Amino acid sequence: KVAECCVCYTSDITTSSVYNAEYYTNLAKELCDAGAHTIAIKDMAGLMKPSGVVPILNAIRAGAGDDIPIHFHTHCTSSASLAVAMEMTRQGCDIIDFAIASMADLTSQPSLNAFCAAMAGMPRDPKINYLALEPLDVYWMKVREMYAPFETGMLSGSARVYDHEIPGGQYANLFVQCKSMGLGDRWEEVLDAYRDVNQLFGDIVKVTPSSKCVGDLALFLINKNLKAFDILDPEKTKNIDYPDSVVGLFEGRLGFPHRGFPDEVTSAILQGKPKLTIRPSSALPPADFTKTQIELSDKYGVQLDDERVMAALLYPKVFDDYMNFCATNTAAAAFLPTPIFWYSFSIGQTATISKLPSEIAQKELGSTLESEEITLTLKRVGPLKAGRMRTIVFQVNDKEQHVEVKNPAAEGEFDGPMADTSNPNHLPSPMPGMVDKCHIEVGQSVVAGQELFIVSALKMEVKVRAPRDGKIDKLYVEARDKLVEGALMAVIS
């Protein structure tokens, strides 16, 4: 067994007073004392410059010794990372991560193809013919085309990453999150807000999940037309419920930065809530796999294997969303060809599902089709009817099936009632997104500050609380409903 521990490269080792050579030396020594066999430099935002290579390697070797293997991982957001990788190679770095050319650059890793070609004839030439990589490059280029909607929207690298420091893995998610909240045309403001929130927090290490906390607050503030340092002005932020991720960060649920958080910001975010005084995971009870498996199997009505139980324990909300998706769309959807799954059928198009697992076939189709192919052909899409309904006609093997579906609303369209801002009894949605949880029912009495709903936009969650004591007269939304900012959620008398 090999224990590889990583240091997260933050800011610029040549100029930062927080993340300087002394910081990395001390951290490397702690990791080696804890038993690390190798040390990785995780440059999650691609902030490393060629000028920082020698200082970071010297700092780690000063703390861990000259013999420990060093592994470098970076992102190419700035377009400078190939130069950094080559300098790392020249200075004796042992392992460097790359991506095949068609999946490389932008917020991904530097190109392996380009690296192999550029290193030819040099002292540490990896001796891999870059042309031998071309079949892999072509294959992954075709795969990438299928997932085009999930691209970041970047057409080129940007040195601006040295200013905002958004990790490569977060950049795409943040951009999609921004668009889902109707803030796509304010992306430049989001980049500035991310930088300012990071500075407000004290310049923290931004890596999953701490980077998400910075991004959540940046989007939250932009949506409310606030600046980062407005958080310190009680008049501008009264009656604001910050995203759960941000509150959790300052409570210490992700641990604490080595220099702590600024006291003034902590007070503003927590608003009197207590901080943890111990390592967050140390208070967690041991996981009971058998009990969890029984409970979840009963909840979802299907026997869950060990892999799914583990997924549910690690990512309970994501797993619940997955199981709800399977219940709504059938688990067989996961076995559709990728282009059909993402882009649907065109009229007359046929797709084949091969060897649907017997347990899924039994549950979804009432028969075991483990070795039988299912052929689906879209024959006809009916006209739009009342309530945005359509009849879709499929040929499933040798049988015709008619399915009634609701035509999706246009992007950003909302056909529910909006809250009247002049009516104190109306409870509006604080942001665009989806109702993740509804904790109330009509006729229920509530007290000021009571949590009524959780609204989420992708992975950002905001709690909606009762503005005062009262009773729920009407409910206009339920779990999984989509909302726009200002949508009427409930009436409180």
What is the pTM assigned to this prediction?
0.83
Model confidence band, residue 143 (pLDDT cutoffs 50, 70, 90): very high
**Which of these, 450, 451, 413, lies nearest to 432 by C-alpha position?**
413
- The C-alpha atoms of residue 147 and residue 339 are separated, in whole angstroms, by 9
Phi, psi of 372 (to 5 degrees): -100, 135
pLDDT at 415: 76
Model confidence band, residue 239 (pLDDT cutoffs 50, 70, 90): confident
pLDDT at 330: 74
Q: What does the pLDDT look like over 258-284, one tens digit per residue?
A: 999 999 999 999 989 999 988 888 878
Average the pLDDT over 374-397 and give the result: 90
Q: Does residue 407 register a pLDDT over 90?
A: no
- The C-alpha atoms of residue 46 and residue 169 are separated, in whole angstroms, by 10
Model confidence band, residue 369 (pLDDT cutoffs 50, 70, 90): low
Average the pLDDT over 231-246 and give the result: 88
Q: Does residue 177 register a pLDDT over 90?
A: no
Q: What does the pLDDT look like over 464-491, one tens digit per residue?
A: 999 999 999 999 999 888 888 889 999 9
Sort 408 into a burial class: Cβ within 10 Å, 0-12 / 13-18 / 19+.
exposed
- The C-alpha atoms of residue 337 and residue 288 are separated, in whole angstroms, by 36
What mean pLDDT value characterizes the chain?
Answer: 91
Phi-psi map region of 159: left, alpha, beta (phi>0 left; psi -120 to 50 alpha): alpha
473-484: b (≥16 Cβ within 10 Å) or e: eebbbeeebbbb
Model confidence band, residue 329 (pLDDT cutoffs 50, 70, 90): confident
- Quick one: DSSP state of residue 284? S
Model confidence band, residue 37 (pLDDT cutoffs 50, 70, 90): very high
Between 413 and 39, the higher pLDDT residue = 39
